[in-house]
Amino acid sequence: MSMAAERSRAALGEPDRLAGFSTPREVDRLFGHEAAGDEFADALECGRMHQAWLLVGPEGIGKATLAYRFARAVLAEGETVDWDHKVFRKVAALSHPNLLLIRRSWIEKSKRYSQWIGVDEVRRLRAFLGNTAGEGGWRVVIVDRADELNQNAANALLKALEEPPSKTLFLLISSAEGRLPVTIRSRARTLRVTALGEEDLESAVRAALDRDSHEADARTLTTALAFSQGSVRRALELVASDGIALYGEIAATLAALPEIDGPRLHRQVERLTGSADSERLDLYLALLLGLIERLIRFMATGEGATQEEQKLAKGLISLANLADWADAWEAISEAKREAFALNLDRGLLLLEIWFRLQHLAREHPV
């Protein structure tokens, strides 16, 4: 692919970019993840660089930001890379000849990104790896995210991992390690990236808000940090997408179970499934699943929930029905994945989720 074509791809942004905020490749500061950074730096300095690294961890904690940081370090060959370095600028624009990004492709006809990374996207590796590295040095391939590869794409990537050219580095990003074929995982060095601690999380969120000219009052920021579970992305979604109000609606609906205000729920579904609200729907589902997960964890371990959530958990879940709620969470998560993968009716998905929870609360009360 030509540099002009690659720049055109860059202009599309990332498939899961958070609207109004910089992409990971445009971010010059990293908060936390010192252990992961040190492990990679040691391998680079000692000449023991593994051909492929698998960065795994929860969504929105900085895995992609870390991967681009690694890529810049390798491409700059030891030079310090700040925001005005030529390598930083080229990586941010996806115009560096030695960098290839593999991700879900844009479908012009439907004006949306594909649900999976297809084999045609991975086949771009053939030309990239077949050419002599431009500007000398290393070639870097970033797959964001590797767990979004379909079967044919995964097989094509595996072939490249089996016999990569010298000085070629693969950085595979995944928030769902279990979805990756064992054959791919076995050929990569796994680097586990954990959720940020409170101090690093707040610093990262404040830096992102400042960098992209967003504002948040103290109460909103404090609430967003508390509900984010160490995820910068989730905190920013809560701040920028009126997520606090969405969370309140979800918590109120859960607290009323097994009663459901049908007309209100249908109005909410219509609002969330409108074409202009796809990102709010994603956030809504993430908040709902995250809240249920925290309620279950609190009842199982006594940890991981705010005071308000603890009260909510005790009104819905007991040791007697804990397994039923865990099963429901698994079923809802799978239903969401299937609906998004097959482009099923999102409104029907939301209604089915709430009616499932209503049935659970009615049949297995505290």
Residue that is written with structure tokens 């799978």 in the block? 334
Give the DSSP H or E segment for 228. Answer: none
43-95 pLDDT, tens digit each:
999 988 999 999 999 889 999 999 999 999 999 987 788 888 999 999 999 99
Least confident of 76-90, 208-222, 270-284: 270-284
Higher per-residue confidence, 200 vs 271: 200
CATH H superfamily, domain 3-192: P-loop containing nucleotide triphosphate hydrolases (3.40.50.300)
Separation of alpha carbons 130 and 123, rounded Å: 11
Whether the pLDDT of residue 13 is over 90: the answer is: no
Least confident stretch, 101-105, 125-129, 156-160, 269-273: 269-273
Q: Which of 22, 151, 140 is nearest to 76 (CA)?
A: 140
Give, in degrees to the nearest 5, the angle at Cα 15 between 60 and 1: 125
Contacts of 292 (CB under 8 A, 6+ apart): 254, 325, 328, 329, 332
Question: For residue range 304-315, what is the model confidence (pLDDT) as tens digits?
Answer: 788 889 999 999
Report the pLDDT value the prediction gives residue 54, as an integer from 0 to 100.
Answer: 98
What is the C-alpha separation between 318 and 299, in angstroms, rounded?
7
Question: Of 57-71, 189-203, 245-259, 327-341, where does mean pLDDT reach its minimum?
Answer: 327-341
Q: Measured over all CA atoms, what is the biggest interatomic distance in the chain, rounded to whole angstroms? A: 66
pLDDT score recorded for residue 2: 47
* Contact of 193 with 30, CB cutoff 8 Å: no
> Mean pLDDT throughout 98-106?
95
Residue extents of the structural domains in the chain: 3-192, 241-363
Q: What is the pTM of this model?
A: 0.82
> For residue range 119-169, what is the model confidence (pLDDT) as tens digits?
999 999 999 998 776 666 899 999 999 999 999 999 999 999 998 899 999
From the CA atom positions of the chain, what is the Rg in Å? 22
Task: Let me know: does 306 contact 314? Beta carbons within 8 Å.
Answer: no
Across 276-283, average pLDDT: 73
